[in-house]
Structure 1
Amino acid sequence: MTVRVRDYPQLKGAAWFIDEDAEFTDVEALRFYERNWKYIETDTLEPHELALIERLVREVGNGILNV
Structure 2
Amino acid sequence: MTAAFVAPIVPADFPELKLLAWNRDVARPIPAEEVFELYERNWRFVDAEHLTTREAKLIRELTRVFGNGVLLIS
Bin of the TM-score, shorter chain as denominator length? over 0.9
Superposition RMSD in Å: 0.8
> Normalising by structure 1, what TM-score?
0.93
Count how many residue pairs are aligned between Structure 1 and Structure 2.
Answer: 67
Tell me the percent identity: 34
Q: Any idea what SS the aligned residue of 1:50 has?
A: helix
> Normalising by structure 2, what TM-score?
0.85
Structure 1 residue 36, shift from structure 2 partner = 0.8
Higher strand share: 1
In structure 2, the partner of 1:65 is: 71
**Gaps (5+ residues) in structure 1?**
none
**Gaps (5+ residues) in structure 2?**
1-6
Alignment match of 1:22 (pick from 25, 28, 32): 28
Distance in 2 (alpha carbons) for counterparts of 1:5 and 1:60: 18
Distance in 1 (alpha carbons) for counterparts of 2:57 and 2:32: 13
In structure 1, the partner of 2:49 is: 43
Q: Which amino acid aligns with 2:55?
A: E
Alignment match of 1:9 (pick from 1, 15, 25): 15
Find the structure with the greater CA-based Rg: 2
